[in-house]
Structure 1
Amino acid sequence: MAEINSGRGYPLIKHSKKEMASMNVASIAIELIQGVLSILIFFFYEAELGLNSLLAGLGIAIYAVYDAFNDPLVGYLTDRPFKWTKKWGRRFPFIIIFFIPMLLFFVLIFSPPVFLQDSQFGLFGWLVFTTCIFDTVESFFTINFWALGPDKFRNQKERRGIATFEVYLGFIGVILSFVVPPLIIGYGNISSYALMAWVCVGISVVCWFLMIPGVRDDKPMVEYYLKTYETEEKEPFFKSLKGVLTQKNYMAFLLLYILYQAMIQIMQASVFYHTRFILNVEADVVTVIILMLFVGGLISLPFWIWYTNKSGNNRLTWIICACFMAIFAFPLTFVTTLAGVMIVIFLYGLAFGGFWVMITPIYSDVIDESVVISGRRKEATYGGIRQFFLNLARVIQALTLAFVHEITGFVEGGSTQSASAIFGIQLHFGVIPAIFIGIGVLIFWKFYDITPEKSKQLKEQLREAE
């Protein structure tokens, strides 16, 4: 149901919980696909196919750099009306059309032709080609999906509500990204990875159908956008980019978010190395380990939501959770038993749940501030730039694994590893990720200044301006 803000003509839309849940079913597919890539792409090409560590790292870095430049451009190009916008909406067509091609190219990443599997440069070329094609279509989907949220859900209560659905449903995607691969793949069985990818596609297609009602643009918002766009002064791309990069709070958010993603992606990729070469167990044990992350996150979510609603301080909650994530990640380097890993991962999950649930509210506060500063709604541009810098996390992951393995003597495609190579795996499972998130939280604490009081002021200014 839409209500028009008296005197301004600005539509205030109330959304049902059913609609919020429908939209965030997409989070299951996003976290599943991105999670599988983060967890397995380096392991698959290095440990299974035998691609040289540095070539694997370089290939993933090229993919990340390509994505970095592709995302802001896609965001800028889609932040304008098209001939179909009035009928179908701003974001809905991109979200629906590009989802299925994204899934098909995801399968190709794990399906290198047999004639290339004995060639180092053939595998390297396939890795770069398939990941860049995947990214091209993935950008149109994800950038428009993330841009939809801040524009569609305008008040703080709805934003925290949508963040709750995002975390709970996203958690399902994260768990599936750890549970599905170990149940299907077999170490040394290359074709099992393609089968695993197809199973992920099947799950994601179900999500595609369920998310359709929730990812539709609100018609009153589309009409308001079209009316204001015609009178709005158009901004060149590089001027728009400069405005985003000079927004202090956005950059503080972005730096912590990048280093958090670097932490997560390095730890995710490390789990399969840790179970295979340190715990010396089959891949399905990964499921048991990640179950503890899931349990810890679910147990903690109600507390973090209650605490943030009571305090109204998104900034403080994020800082507390980031600090505890660093504290609980550190000991993973020194734990070498399954029971020990499960306990520490559970404690880490308690903080991880709180950090994740606050990403959307904090990002939305930053978007509100950007509108007050610039007088424009540029969610897709911000989303594209967010994805641009987010790819630094993928580069950090790839280069961290590549250099640690190169320095410590990891044997590509080997069934066992030396003591020094095992120590390298332990380092990138705990200490190194903890350092990254520690640096990020210090930057965020120092420079991010959207307090509860400032957030209220921004919303008042936003209502007055719109």
Structure 2
Amino acid sequence: MNNSSPQRTVTSQREQLNFTTKLAYGAGELGGAIPNNILVFFVLFFFTNVAGLNASLAGSIILVGKAWDAFNDPLIGWLSDKTRSPLGRRYPWMLIGAIPLAISFFLLWFIPPTANQWQLFAYYTILFIIYYAAVSAVWVPYSTLGAELTQSYNERTNLTSFKSSFAIGGSIFALILAQVILDIVEAPQSYLYLGAISGFISLLAVYLCVWGTYKRYKIIQNEREKIQQAPSEPILKQIKIALSNKPFLYVIGIYLCSWLGTQVTAAILPYYVVDWMKLPKIHFTQMALAVQGTALILMPFWSFMGQKFGKKAIYCMGIPGTIIAQAGFFFLQPGQTILMYILAVMAGIGISVAYIAPWAMLPDVVDLDELNTGQRREGIFYGFVVQLQKFGIAAALFLVGKTLDWSGLIPTVASQAPPVQPDSALWAIRLIIGPLPTLILIIGLVIAYFYPITQAKHEEIVLKLKESRE
């Protein structure tokens, strides 16, 4: 006890992050938060109700892109770990990858001049493959910065809260931007404008992040490079080493359940609001804003609580609110609009900690791996988690698209009046927004309960790392 307190003081003084670095790191999250949120909230609806694609094909587009991308994220993580350049290991990937990310996202909202379902399927599938590859090139290196800018347990929670605040703020901005553009400009041109503006903002955010964090990154990496070597094992062996890290498997489970549960809800939400609740489209964006706004407001609270009680504790405190809200959506009836918004606010309570906890846990897992192996392989670990993020989006959109197709959902195009959906489709919409994410989030809560790295355990890991380096 007497030895650990001075150690914490030294660590906090030496590794204290300044506000500018935190702000720049958080701003980088806009590069993914804006296009990804527009993607998950609007792309399936765009495919089926604007471009006129069959719901099953629409859901399959994302899954095909994801199948090609299966090993892309760990591969880029491995390559970025081995990259040597004047800008370091991560920044060249971010600077180059941001360009095709912005361009491919813009082209996703263009409708080719053809009514052939398979030609549309081919066009959007190719673009999704390019888009996901660009996302990997940017987001795996960007995400690793959370472990490379500081080694302090509480600083990482605080840094993650900045990242998460910008993630939620980016989601809110994307929804407001979408609502404004979709109200002012007629479809399908409105979606094209939305893609162009979002892609440009994404590019700027990535470049701002590089500019604002580079100085701090070099300071930390210069210290580490004196005592470390890059992992030299082949990628498959490094993947095996990463998967043998038991706390990492817990983080994978927590993150996958959190992301899959929320993305399923986001993908089905426009159908739920318009087709089941019989409300105008504007209520869809307002519902999403209620969820994300609540999550953003609570972000400083959960960051404080995380530093006081730990990352696992805040996850177990916050997620039950979202579980109750998800179950409640199933029982809502048309006309219960106020209750719908109350449940949206409840859902935002858990969404807030779902953004913070898994990302704040991940750097601690990387430290444990360094203690066990003597090497730092942030790229591999973060590659897996970025892979899970994209898998969550792809699986959610595929699952929703397939289920809606099987249930008899009637697709349409922008120039046609909205159809009256059959009872089977309405029943499927309610199941997807209620029981399905509820079950997924409960599983994630159980996994989080058994997560083993506490603050005391992490301080022990850091102390041993310092001793081994000295």
The worse-fitting range, judged by mean Cα deviation, of 410-419 and 370-379 is 410-419
Residues of 1 paired with 2:177 and 2:419: CA distance? 23
Note the C-alpha offset of 1:427. 1.7
Q: How does 1:2-401 map to 2 (within 5 A)?
A: 13-82=15-84, 85=85, 87-115=86-114, 118-185=115-182, 189-216=187-214, 218-228=217-227, 234-311=232-309, 313-335=310-332, 336=334, 337-401=336-400
The verdict on how the C-alpha distance between 1:233 and 1:96 changes in structure 2, with shifts beyond 3 A counting, is closer
The verdict on how the C-alpha distance between 1:229 and 1:452 changes in structure 2, with shifts beyond 3 A counting, is closer
Residues of 2 paired with 1:188 and 1:52: CA distance? 22
**Aligned partners of 2:102 and 2:200 also within 8 Å:** no
**Aligned partners of 2:59 and 2:397 also within 8 Å:** yes
The worse-fitting range, judged by mean Cα deviation, of 141-150 and 215-224 is 215-224
Note the C-alpha offset of 1:233. 6.3
The answer to whether structure 1 residue 456 and structure 2 residue 470 are counterparts is no
* TM-score, scaled to structure 1: 0.90
The verdict on how the C-alpha distance between 1:141 and 1:298 changes in structure 2, with shifts beyond 3 A counting, is closer
**Aligned partners of 1:98 and 1:141 also within 8 Å:** yes
What SS does the corresponding residue of 2:452 show, helix, strand or coil? coil
Residues of 2 paired with 1:80 and 1:430: CA distance? 44
Residues of 2 paired with 1:133 and 1:299: CA distance? 35
Cα displacement string for residues 380-413 of structure 1 (whole angstroms, at most 9, x for unaligned residues): 1111122333343234313321332133211122
Structure 2 equivalent of residue 411 of structure 1: 410
Note the C-alpha offset of 1:188. 8.1
Q: State the one-letter code of the partner of 1:122.
A: Q
Q: State the one-letter code of the partner of 2:129.
A: C
Structure 1 equivalent of residue 415 of structure 2: none
Residues of 1 paired with 2:306 and 2:206: CA distance? 31
- Given the alignment, which residue of 424, 429, 434 partners 2:438? 434
Note the C-alpha offset of 1:143. 0.6
**Aligned partners of 2:252 and 2:385 also within 8 Å:** yes
What SS does the corresponding residue of 1:415 show, helix, strand or coil? coil
Q: Which runs of 5+ in 1 are unaligned?
A: 6-10
Residues of 1 paired with 2:222 and 2:208: CA distance? 26
Q: State the one-letter code of the partner of 1:214.
A: G
The verdict on how the C-alpha distance between 1:149 and 1:309 changes in structure 2, with shifts beyond 3 A counting, is closer
**Aligned partners of 1:68 and 1:391 also within 8 Å:** no
Q: Which runs of 5+ in 2 are unaligned?
A: 1-6, 8-12, 413-417
Note the C-alpha offset of 1:328. 1.8
* TM-score, scaled to structure 2: 0.89
Cα displacement string for residues 69-126 of structure 1 (whole angstroms, at most 9, x for unaligned residues): 21111111111132xx2x22221222222213211110111113213xx011011111
The answer to whether structure 1 residue 443 and structure 2 residue 440 are counterparts is no
What SS does the corresponding residue of 1:114 show, helix, strand or coil? coil
Residues of 1 paired with 2:351 and 2:124: CA distance? 31
Cα displacement string for residues 302-327 of structure 1 (whole angstroms, at most 9, x for unaligned residues): 3323322222x211221222233212
**Aligned partners of 2:144 and 2:379 also within 8 Å:** yes
Residues of 2 paired with 1:242 and 1:415: CA distance? 50
The verdict on how the C-alpha distance between 1:76 and 1:13 changes in structure 2, with shifts beyond 3 A counting, is same
Note the C-alpha offset of 1:212. 3.5
Residues of 2 paired with 1:395 and 1:233: CA distance? 31
Note the C-alpha offset of 1:13. 4.5
**Aligned partners of 2:77 and 2:383 also within 8 Å:** yes
Note the C-alpha offset of 1:209. 4.9
**Aligned partners of 1:73 and 1:384 also within 8 Å:** yes
RMSD: 2.3
Cα displacement string for residues 282-321 of structure 1 (whole angstroms, at most 9, x for unaligned residues): 333223222322342244333323322222x211221222
The verdict on how the C-alpha distance between 1:295 and 1:51 changes in structure 2, with shifts beyond 3 A counting, is closer
The verdict on how the C-alpha distance between 1:120 and 1:415 changes in structure 2, with shifts beyond 3 A counting, is same
Residues of 1 paired with 2:173 and 2:52: CA distance? 26
Note the C-alpha offset of 1:38. 1.2
Q: State the one-letter code of the partner of 2:266.
A: Q
**Aligned partners of 1:48 and 1:188 also within 8 Å:** no
Cα displacement string for residues 176-215 of structure 1 (whole angstroms, at most 9, x for unaligned residues): 2322223223698222211111121243344345333323
**Aligned partners of 1:299 and 1:350 also within 8 Å:** no
Residues of 2 paired with 1:197 and 1:457: CA distance? 47
Structure 2 equivalent of residue 424 of structure 1: 428
Residues of 2 paired with 1:423 and 1:179: CA distance? 29
Paired-residue identity, %: 22
Q: State the one-letter code of the partner of 2:264.
A: I
The verdict on how the C-alpha distance between 1:164 and 1:386 changes in structure 2, with shifts beyond 3 A counting, is closer
Q: How many residues align?
A: 449
Cα displacement string for residues 418-458 of structure 1 (whole angstroms, at most 9, x for unaligned residues): 12211211221222111111122223324x21123222211
Residues of 2 paired with 1:392 and 1:170: CA distance? 18
The verdict on how the C-alpha distance between 1:365 and 1:223 changes in structure 2, with shifts beyond 3 A counting, is closer
What SS does the corresponding residue of 1:79 show, helix, strand or coil? helix
Residues of 1 paired with 2:186 and 2:60: CA distance? 23
The verdict on how the C-alpha distance between 1:393 and 1:298 changes in structure 2, with shifts beyond 3 A counting, is closer
The worse-fitting range, judged by mean Cα deviation, of 258-267 and 186-195 is 186-195
Residues of 2 paired with 1:208 and 1:355: CA distance? 23
Note the C-alpha offset of 1:225. 4.7
The verdict on how the C-alpha distance between 1:373 and 1:356 changes in structure 2, with shifts beyond 3 A counting, is same
Structure 2 equivalent of residue 8 of structure 1: none
Residues of 2 paired with 1:295 and 1:73: CA distance? 35
The verdict on how the C-alpha distance between 1:208 and 1:309 changes in structure 2, with shifts beyond 3 A counting, is closer
